[in-house]
Structure 1
Amino acid sequence: EHKINPIFPLFYSYYDKNPAGELSISNGESTPYEKVKVSFYAKQYMDGPRLCADLGTLKGGETKTTPVFALFNDSIFRVTEGTKAAGEVIVEYFYLGKEKKVSFPVTVQVQNRNAMTWDDDRKAAAFVTAKDPLILGFSKNVASTVRYEGAPPVSEDFRIAFALFQALTTYNLGYAVDPKTPYTALSEKQDTVDFLQFPNQTLAYRAGDCDDISVLYAALLESVGVPAALVTTPGHIYVAFDPGLPPDSAGRLFAAKGELIVRDGRAWVPVEVTLVKDGFVRAWRTGAQEWWEAEAAGKTGFYPIREAWGTYEPVGFVEGGIAVSLPPPERIVEGYRRELAKFLEAQVGPRIAAIQAEDRAAKKTADQTANRIGVVYAQFGQLEAAAEQFRIASRRGTYAPAVTNIGNVLYLQGEMKDALEQYEKALSLAPASAAALAGAARCLYALDDTKRMNEVIAKLKAVNPELAAKIDTAKPMPSATAGDPSKYESGSTTSLSVMDKD
């Protein structure tokens, strides 16, 4: 007896380690079969038989069941319409000392290459073809286009994810429910075959269902190194990305609580991909709301792409004839800037209002308040606005934290000599300032003044050994364009220097 399950070309490598079916082998004789081996072969799509099991001895009258494995080659991925193929099960054994070999035919049902079922949501990760040249071309062009749009808001990964989503908006990608295979219905029917578009197909068609747009956005993110995850709620799927911030820093950074998904010590930004025409800000808020509503009911799924790839490898799918024309760079930048202004209004305004209210209640000085406001601007990449607040806070020349932060801004802008001057001024006011010492050490490294740098690091070790340890003189220090602004909040800036919040 045998059962060969329908074969899904997308998972052709999956069947080498996971069963494609099962079969039962029986010995109808009274004498045992020795050294029994079972193989499977489908000549049209395999280079040779795949050994499924070495059963050893099969006693007279005994039946053994074994899974069927198959090592398909990539020719199976050319199947664009469901078809049937001839296969065979091969049994080799010894009977009464003589080697025997028998085979019997089986029919293999092969689905089309876009087919999958939703019995395991992680399967969709196989469609996330991050190495597709078309996907790489789109994502890298967008990333390079916005790279020099000032300091990154939040983090460089956040900026890239933000820009990619906005580029899809500018590209005029649209959400369109597939009337034949809607995800809402099929996700509840685990054995029903769905049709998913590959990312390059969704780009070419400029439209897709929620699952199609999800795998496209995830592929774009992963193609430039931003970790992505598939998020499921009842009848729906969308995407989250990791901006590279520790959860505590991310939680303090954003204005509204509940805007993030925290899983296994990582903070993720949920993005409702079907709102691609409405922009990133609304898509983020909606994605977060959908998550928490479903989470309250215990009906969420969360699948990091890289973990899912461990089971469901992405295929190297490149379809000829697909051409994608990116929007002109000026339109990408225009869309990015417009949405970034909305994002900053939503995030920065409430934070500043809260700081002002807190400081009035705590009777803090105007210098302290201006410095704190400057830190907020800096965290969101608004360096000019930050510098203005720091200058206000340091106008009397006696408030060391603000002077240090002016140095931080200058460092981020690549003005090493001017930044060092500010750090030295801050140290004259507060010789034990770890923030100013760390900034000075990094400037001296950039200026190739090793002797003075080591002297400053020695002082920093006496003040803050942990921070000093992060300044590894054996490795290149971060450039002035690198960033992780989550650390503004916790004590250090964009992995460049230390933001002083006092």
Structure 2
Amino acid sequence: MRNVWIASLGAAFLLAVNSVSAFAETGNGFLKADFKKEIATPKLEKLLGVSGTLLLVSKQEGALEAVGDDGKVTLTYPAKAGEETLLKQPEAIAIEGDTLYVVDSGSQQVVMYSFSTAKYLGKFGAKNGGLFGGDDNMLKSPQGVAVSEGVVYVADTDNARIQLFGVNGVFMHTFEVSSPKAAAESKEIPYLLKEPTSIALDGVGRVYVLDAGDSQVKVYDPSGRYLKSLPSVGKPIALSVAEDGVYVADEVSQVISKFDFEGKLAYIFGSKGEARAQFKKLAGLAVEKGQQVYVGDAGKAWVNQFLTVAGNKPEPLAKVPGRASVKWMGNFAIEAQVLASDAKGAVLAISKDGKSLLKLLEGKVIAEIKPEDMELVAVTVDKAGAIWVLDEKKKRCVQLDEAGKVLSSFGSVGSGAGQFGNPVALAVNSAGLIFVADSSNHNVQMFRGDGVYLNNLGGTNSAISNPAALAFDPLGDLFVLDASRRSVLVYSATGDFIQELGKQKEVSLFNKPLGLVVTADEMLVLDGSQVKAFTHKGELLRVFGTSATGVGDIPDPVGMITAGGSSLWVSDRKSKSIRQFAVLYKPEKVKTLTAHNKVHAIELHWAKPAVAYVKEFRIYRSKTEQGGYVQLATTAANTYVDAGLDADARYYYRVAAVSDFAYEGAISDGATAVADKFIPKSLAEIKTETTPWQIKLSWEAADPQYLAGYRIYQKEGETFVKLGEVMQTEYSRDGLLPETKHNYFVSVLSTDGTESEKRMVEATTLVFNRPPLEIEVLKLNNIFSNSYKLYEKSGLGSIKITNNTEKPMEKIRVSFVLKNFMDFATENKIAKLLPGQSEELLLKAVFNNSILTVTEDSAVQAEIEASYFEAGNRVAYNRIATVNVYDKHRLTWDERERFATFVTPKDPPVINLVRAVVGEYKETKDEARLAAALFDALGVYGVTYIQDPSNPYQVSSEKTNTVDYIQFPRETLERKSGDCDDLVAFYSAGLESMGINTRVLEVPGHMLMMFSTGIAAEADGYNMNNLYVIYEDMLWIPVETTLIGNSFINAWEKGSATYYKFKDKGLTILDVHAGWEKYKPASLPDSEWKPSGLSRAAIDKKFPGDNMSVLKISSQARTRRYLEALKQSPSDVNANLQLGIIMAKLGDHNEAMKYFDKVISLDSKHAGAMNNRGNLFMIDDKYVEAQKAYLAASQVSPKDAQIWVNLARAYTRTGDTKKAKAAFVKAQTLDPKVKEQYRALGLEILNAM
């Protein structure tokens, strides 16, 4: 429920002004009520309530507004809905959730709004209007309203009563007030109401009513029993109940009195007057949490805010659960008679004509069952889900399937056993026995599931007269509603009569009983236009419903059923609808709560309620039995473990059930327990490691929860002596003598101070036969001289240094040297090494260049020395190990990235070769043509493929431990031959030197390579019939390098075929760039080698047409997308332009010029095409034509600095320095960066002046 405190103002008889004098002894109330501020509220009629920082006020015109504490109106609640008047004289408000209830004495009703949005939601209580039209229960000048746990309490002032409604206005009943004493003594007790004008409830469910007829505030318990009246304050006009007491305003003295919940006056404050904190005309009183008290003053049109001293609050668990409420859920326009429900939440309804069954789910008809030639009068569903009906036409009981087909039937017309005269109701118990009620035969007959007659509850000696409905409780007892007797007869599962319910001293509690529903804890009877709820013993619990014709009333009901949980369905003939209600239950007190001690925890158990509407349970805990309970947790199960508690501490618990509408029931009786301490388990095993001077104990870690450490003991006689306490799972005992036996005991210690059993272990120190400082070589790898720089960071092995003495060693220096190949030893330092302790070190090596001079594999001695100082003297220990140093051509294939060492694009012979080839093809920018030129040049130079006779690649590559021999590219040049891996390294180095990206390809038993063309792959995966390879979104060309000496086209075709043959059969790709990150290209001695005889003419002579073939293939790949664009649109300017640029880069200048000319024909002012024409003329040494092209471009795009730079360059070629300078100055003016970017050109022009 929203924390809202309600103000009320009501008429009262005038009392003497000096009636407050009796309070003088309480002292000055202003010491306990601090005035904070005045809030202006023009035209204030009455302060109705407060919620948070919003004040709810009524104005003189009858308007209802929400006002902030700054006096500004934030919301106005509508006084009309269309033409219908909602508000005339708002008197009081109450809020639950987001629903605002406004009681209005003018329209004599309660109006509902959304509190947050002011949307009108409905009304109730007025005659023939609203959600629930009134009858004899209609309100008359109501002035007070309160809401608690779904029940709306309305002070029905002129009817001198309190009326109770459901959360959205379903009429329940009148609040029955009673005297706590016998009738004879009750005359002196003012428990009856005369003129109730205001009502409120406190935190434990007590009801406070301001009765203006008696000028008293009367207090009742939740059942209506009168408890007391608060002391008189004169003429009480307003009432508000806070979390710590009750505030009452006196109209005569204009004084506010605060009472505690015992009814004792706490203090008073306020007075009559015009000054600040005085009141001219009290008009409402409201209290918010935190002792914020608001007092309305209609005389001054202000709301005064006070901060009061806090009083004692009641224990929250002392609250008595509120009564069950009812909520109207909706009406469904379905005409039906008898209702039944299945176990899945669906409702079965017999249609108005009795010809069919309607299956409803969530208010909608989801199926219709039409049995053939029947007149249905009753229906039920058994435990297995089978449908049973009574057929009035043939006087029989029938089992149907979902399609309406008859599965079985029994019975016939008559009055004998197994016969029916007027069957009206049936029910099936959990054992499958069928009971049929017959109104004309005045009996209830019992049958087996197969229709065999068993017994008759009627007959001459039976009390049954006119059975109208049947129902079972969870124990199997049969409840029979007898319409003539106006009672319910209860029979045991064996047919024995138990009791009759609904009659008190020959007076029936029923008027027109029609239907019956029995739940786990209640019996619901549909009696005329009301639903009455009883216990299974016949005690009346509640009543709801009226005969009016509002959407939530039940004027002419014919059937009722519960669909499980809180849902209740009533079929109404007059409204031609089925009406759904929800009973907002307040669960009964949880029973048999028990608490059981566990380790640092307490386990709770309680009885699970049989009712279906209990959704979950709230657990409350306290450190004291008397109070201080706070909510700990919520659970859906009937058990809970409260973990993480302090050991040896006592805790107290209570549990409350919560309904499916989130209402909490009665709190359970208390249960208590003490959480146990944790007692650790003993260690399963203790391991030992020994040296001559030390014993090290170790064990598996114990459960870390509650672990405080481990204790180590030795036993001296019968006494355990603690040696130490540790948190880690090991313990070392140092300074021992060699060859001595020792016994130790280890236990586990908990945070609770408890200790496990001690586990014993026996160990003997070793014989001392090892060096004090021991050097152990763990790993020492062979050295590949071509990767010698790698060992500076990665190291070539590791060693372990161990202190075998009983004393710690400090500042240990460990050096490593490989004579002849290292100028200086590398060193490691160990700050401290305890007795028996070891430390592993990485052996790094910084080699000199002489290691590259190794021509044969050699075994070399490595010297390791560890030294430290003892008593001022240096103590050193040495260890000699042998390692193989391989010559620079060696590698093993265990790490295939080692191959990257042999790809040396910056080696001078490789660079010289590449420059010679590129120089012959200086106009070519296409990667494929340059790669073809280099490949063909190698053929001209005489390089050939020769398989390695000793370790061919196909053998060595499969044996990762075999040391293979690979040539460096410069050596392949010198020898003019190499096997497949030599040629791949050589060709890859050459292409990488050109800036062409390469990858090494490995297939089973062979190596080849591929390079990037720089051409982006198309989205459709075009690869020219597998001639290209699509890799990393680019087109790549595989090359079979062993075909060197053949044409490049042949090597390309063979490489592509090999790639696709092994693509999914073992092909791997090695990125030499990634390999270089670890295995740098080898550093080789300087070389003056330069190639000779590699002219373009010689290449074209040996491989005629090869370069042109590559040009055609490459141009096709590069131009494909643009040629496709031209097919769609021949006048596509951009496609023509891009084709010209591509052909220019490929070196086909004539074709490029055609495309540029085409662009200009399409767009005569295309500066880009004009500029590109100039570029082609420059390449072909046609400088005058270039100048003309650039001039044309500059006229079209005069602000393009690049065009002017190109024009300046063209003028320099013809010696026209003056024009060159003018063009260059023009470019600088347009873009100052030109001066820096083209510094050499600028100097050339200036020097020529």
For the aligned pair, the TM-score class normalised by the smaller chain equals: 0.7 to 0.9
2:863 corresponds in structure 1 to 88
Residue identity in the other structure for 1:259 = Y
* Identity value in percent: 27
Residue identity in the other structure for 2:1028 = E
| Structure 1 CA distance for aligned equivalents of residues 805 and 1069 of structure 2 | 51
Task: Kindly state the Cα deviation for residue 228 of structure 1 after the two structures are TM-superposed.
Answer: 4.1
2:826 corresponds in structure 1 to 50
3-state SS of the aligned residue for 2:800? strand
Task: Kindly state the Cα deviation for residue 45 of structure 1 after the two structures are TM-superposed.
Answer: 1.8
User: Residues 61 and 191 from structure 1, CA distance in 2 versus in 1: closer, same or farther, beyond 3 angstroms?
Assistant: same
Confirm or deny: 8 A CA contact 1:204 1:323 kept in the other structure.
Answer: no
User: Residues 353 and 313 from structure 1, CA distance in 2 versus in 1: closer, same or farther, beyond 3 angstroms?
Assistant: closer
3-state SS of the aligned residue for 1:278? coil
3-state SS of the aligned residue for 1:13? helix
Which one of the candidate residues 1203, 1208, 1216 is aligned to 1:440? 1203
Which one of the candidate residues 1110, 1114, 1122 is aligned to 1:343? 1110
Task: Kindly state the Cα deviation for residue 164 of structure 1 after the two structures are TM-superposed.
Answer: 1.8
User: Residues 92 and 346 from structure 1, CA distance in 2 versus in 1: closer, same or farther, beyond 3 angstroms?
Assistant: same
User: Residues 62 and 9 from structure 1, CA distance in 2 versus in 1: closer, same or farther, beyond 3 angstroms?
Assistant: same
Cα-to-partner distance string for 1:92-132 (whole Å, 9 max, x where unaligned): 22345543222122222222331111122221121233444
Correspondence 1:20-419 to 2 at 5 A = 20-51=796-827, 53-95=828-870, 98-147=873-922, 151-154=923-926, 159-242=929-1012, 245=1014, 247=1016, 259-260=1028-1029, 262-263=1031-1032, 269-288=1037-1056, 290-291=1058-1059, 296=1064, 299-305=1067-1073, 307-318=1074-1085, 326-329=1092-1095, 330-332=1097-1099, 334-335=1101-1102, 338-348=1105-1115, 359-360=1126-1127, 362=1128, 364=1130, 374=1140, 377-388=1143-1154, 390-391=1156-1157, 400=1166, 405-413=1172-1180, 415=1182, 417-419=1184-1186
Residue identity in the other structure for 2:1070 = F
Confirm or deny: 8 A CA contact 1:47 1:72 kept in the other structure.
Answer: yes
Confirm or deny: 8 A CA contact 1:251 1:257 kept in the other structure.
Answer: no
| Structure 1 CA distance for aligned equivalents of residues 1120 and 816 of structure 2 | 69
3-state SS of the aligned residue for 1:100? strand
2:1238 corresponds in structure 1 to 476
Task: Kindly state the Cα deviation for residue 24 of structure 1 after the two structures are TM-superposed.
Answer: 1.9
Task: Kindly state the Cα deviation for residue 392 of structure 1 after the two structures are TM-superposed.
Answer: 6.7
| Structure 2 CA distance for aligned equivalents of residues 438 and 258 of structure 1 | 42
| Structure 2 CA distance for aligned equivalents of residues 112 and 175 of structure 1 | 23
Confirm or deny: 8 A CA contact 1:131 1:316 kept in the other structure.
Answer: no
Residue identity in the other structure for 1:161 = A
| Structure 2 CA distance for aligned equivalents of residues 218 and 366 of structure 1 | 40
Residue identity in the other structure for 1:219 = A
Task: Kindly state the Cα deviation for residue 454 of structure 1 after the two structures are TM-superposed.
Answer: 5.9
TM-score after normalising by structure 1: 0.75
Task: Kindly state the Cα deviation for residue 17 of structure 1 after the two structures are TM-superposed.
Answer: 1.4
| Structure 2 CA distance for aligned equivalents of residues 142 and 250 of structure 1 | 35
Confirm or deny: 8 A CA contact 2:869 2:875 kept in the other structure.
Answer: yes
1:499 corresponds in structure 2 to none
1:490 corresponds in structure 2 to none
Confirm or deny: 8 A CA contact 2:810 2:832 kept in the other structure.
Answer: yes
Confirm or deny: 8 A CA contact 1:21 1:68 kept in the other structure.
Answer: yes
Task: Kindly state the Cα deviation for residue 197 of structure 1 after the two structures are TM-superposed.
Answer: 1.1
User: Residues 44 and 93 from structure 1, CA distance in 2 versus in 1: closer, same or farther, beyond 3 angstroms?
Assistant: same
TM-score after normalising by structure 2: 0.33
Confirm or deny: 8 A CA contact 1:294 1:300 kept in the other structure.
Answer: no
Residue identity in the other structure for 2:839 = K
Residue identity in the other structure for 1:154 = D
| Structure 1 CA distance for aligned equivalents of residues 865 and 1015 of structure 2 | 55
| Structure 2 CA distance for aligned equivalents of residues 44 and 407 of structure 1 | 63
Task: Kindly state the Cα deviation for residue 316 of structure 1 after the two structures are TM-superposed.
Answer: 3.0
Greater shift in the superposed pair: 348-357 or 193-202: 348-357
| Structure 1 CA distance for aligned equivalents of residues 886 and 1135 of structure 2 | 64
Confirm or deny: 8 A CA contact 2:937 2:1094 kept in the other structure.
Answer: no
Query: Which is richer in strand?
Result: 2
Cα-to-partner distance string for 1:241-299 (whole Å, 9 max, x where unaligned): 456x4746999999677725544x87755433223233323434444554566555684
Task: Kindly state the Cα deviation for residue 152 of structure 1 after the two structures are TM-superposed.
Answer: 1.1
3-state SS of the aligned residue for 1:277? coil
Aligned residue pairs total 452
Residue identity in the other structure for 2:1203 = A
The unaligned stretches of length 5 or more in structure 2 are: 1-775, 1210-1219, 1242-1249
Confirm or deny: 8 A CA contact 2:1009 2:1040 kept in the other structure.
Answer: yes
Residue identity in the other structure for 2:914 = S
User: Residues 371 and 299 from structure 1, CA distance in 2 versus in 1: closer, same or farther, beyond 3 angstroms?
Assistant: closer
Task: Kindly state the Cα deviation for residue 212 of structure 1 after the two structures are TM-superposed.
Answer: 0.5
Confirm or deny: 8 A CA contact 1:241 1:269 kept in the other structure.
Answer: yes
Confirm or deny: 8 A CA contact 1:291 1:300 kept in the other structure.
Answer: no
| Structure 2 CA distance for aligned equivalents of residues 319 and 450 of structure 1 | 43
Confirm or deny: 8 A CA contact 1:408 1:439 kept in the other structure.
Answer: no
Task: Kindly state the Cα deviation for residue 203 of structure 1 after the two structures are TM-superposed.
Answer: 1.7
Task: Kindly state the Cα deviation for residue 9 of structure 1 after the two structures are TM-superposed.
Answer: 1.5
RMSD: 4.2
| Structure 2 CA distance for aligned equivalents of residues 292 and 472 of structure 1 | 49
User: Residues 251 and 419 from structure 1, CA distance in 2 versus in 1: closer, same or farther, beyond 3 angstroms?
Assistant: farther
Confirm or deny: 8 A CA contact 1:4 1:20 kept in the other structure.
Answer: yes
Confirm or deny: 8 A CA contact 1:167 1:335 kept in the other structure.
Answer: no
Residue identity in the other structure for 2:948 = D
Cα-to-partner distance string for 1:35-89 (whole Å, 9 max, x where unaligned): 12222112122212122x3222122112222222222222222222222122211
| Structure 1 CA distance for aligned equivalents of residues 901 and 797 of structure 2 | 21
Confirm or deny: 8 A CA contact 1:239 1:273 kept in the other structure.
Answer: yes
Task: Kindly state the Cα deviation for residue 389 of structure 1 after the two structures are TM-superposed.
Answer: 5.3
Task: Kindly state the Cα deviation for residue 194 of structure 1 after the two structures are TM-superposed.
Answer: 0.8
Which one of the candidate residues 1224, 1238, 1248 is aligned to 1:450? 1224
Residue identity in the other structure for 1:180 = S
| Structure 2 CA distance for aligned equivalents of residues 250 and 438 of structure 1 | 36
The unaligned stretches of length 5 or more in structure 1 are: 459-468, 480-502
| Structure 2 CA distance for aligned equivalents of residues 199 and 296 of structure 1 | 31
| Structure 1 CA distance for aligned equivalents of residues 1239 and 926 of structure 2 | 20
| Structure 2 CA distance for aligned equivalents of residues 203 and 194 of structure 1 | 20
Residue identity in the other structure for 1:61 = G
Cα-to-partner distance string for 1:431-453 (whole Å, 9 max, x where unaligned): 5799xx57634423424413543
Query: Which is richer in helix?
Result: 1
Residue identity in the other structure for 2:902 = F
User: Residues 217 and 352 from structure 1, CA distance in 2 versus in 1: closer, same or farther, beyond 3 angstroms?
Assistant: closer
| Structure 1 CA distance for aligned equivalents of residues 1034 and 1133 of structure 2 | 35
Confirm or deny: 8 A CA contact 1:36 1:93 kept in the other structure.
Answer: yes
3-state SS of the aligned residue for 1:56? strand
3-state SS of the aligned residue for 2:1236? coil
3-state SS of the aligned residue for 1:14? helix
2:391 corresponds in structure 1 to none
3-state SS of the aligned residue for 1:474? helix
User: Residues 28 and 433 from structure 1, CA distance in 2 versus in 1: closer, same or farther, beyond 3 angstroms?
Assistant: same
Correspondence 1:4-15 to 2 at 5 A = 4-15=780-791
